[in-house]
Amino acid sequence: MKTRIILLLTFVSVSSFAQERSAQMAGLEYSREKMQNDSIKGYSDNLNAYLNFPISKGDKQRIGGRIQFRSKTISNTGQYFDHHLYSIDLNVSWQKNIKDNAQFYLFSQFGFYSDFIDLSTEDFRYSAGFRYVLRHNDKLQTGWGMAYSRQYFGHQLNPFFSIEYDISSRLRLSGLLPIRPKLTYALSENIFLSSEISGSAGSYRLSALDNNNRFIRINQWYSLSSLGFTLRKQHLISIGLGYNLRQTVRLYDDGQDRALSIFTFDIKKKSTPAAEVKTRGTILSVSYSFKLK
């Protein structure tokens, strides 16, 4: 079943991509995070690969997609949390031009998030949301929106404010506030420095046979600074160094009452974890992306 799912999503992405060229086509990122506290000296190896593709394009609207694969291997943290975790998901977004300086977006994401030992419908989860974007002038674009995610631990809401602001010819503020602001400074036409702060919450279902459908929840806030290089206007290579300001990994039994969360913070908490670990540590990342001319 696992092989058939991967082949199906890959076929959908390649077929759609063949219809039209995409500006940002593909990317690959690897990172290693230390997971340390007074009693643990563990680490996490992370791999992320994606492929963007167009589905349809008109004068006032367009539809695009992304297929993405992630892997996360946690080691040396103890029997509860040392796992190989994976996800494969499909993202679809619809953009509608309301007027010359305004766009409305709808987006969705669905896929499988688990240890991939015995895939089933229990490993499936989804997200959806909207965003409204307004271009004020050549230097400033702002927007707002809301995303909903059905996590294994419950319901997650992510209200956000987006910004694209050219502060000067070299300095640019972009991203989603408050969960992922990013500041970029261009040293030259092809070399840049960037700094960002990011918060995320995710969950992975464990094997029904080996772990009774338990799931792992990972909350994380980190800062990352990167040096990027653009080669021949198509190849982007970036090397980053950062720090996990706070990372919490929890193990839950299946069937508990679900929580309501905003970003990484629980508003209505009913579930009690079977095990929990809180860590910090440095992050080293390397990424490559490719875009068509």
Residues sharing a CB contact under 8 Å with residue 279, sequence separation 6 or more, in sequence order: 34, 35, 36, 37, 40, 42, 77, 244, 247, 249
Tens of each residue's pLDDT in the chain, 293 residues: 444 433 333 333 333 333 333 457 999 999 999 999 999 999 999 999 999 999 999 889 999 999 999 999 999 998 899 999 999 999 999 999 998 899 999 999 999 999 999 999 999 999 999 999 999 999 999 999 999 999 998 889 999 999 999 999 999 999 998 889 999 999 999 999 999 999 888 899 999 988 999 999 999 999 999 999 999 889 999 999 999 999 999 999 987 667 788 877 778 766 788 999 999 999 999 999 998 87
**Residues present in the chain in total:** 293
Q: Locate tokens 């080691």: which residue? A: 75
**Cα separation of 26 and 52, whole Å?**
6
Beta-bridged to residue 93, according to DSSP, are 64, 107
pLDDT of residue 17: 31
pLDDT of residue 259: 77
pLDDT of residue 204: 96
Token pair in block for residue 101: 């300086």
Return the C-alpha torsion angle 229, 221, 263, 6, nearest 10.
Answer: 60
If 0-12 CB within 10 Å is exposed, 13-18 middle and 19+ buried, where does residue 174 land? middle
Nearest to 249 by CA among 282, 189, 204: 204
Contact 135, 102 (CB under 8 A): yes
Report the b/e string of 118-147 with b at 16+ CB within 10 A: bbeebbbbebebebebebeeeeebebbbeb
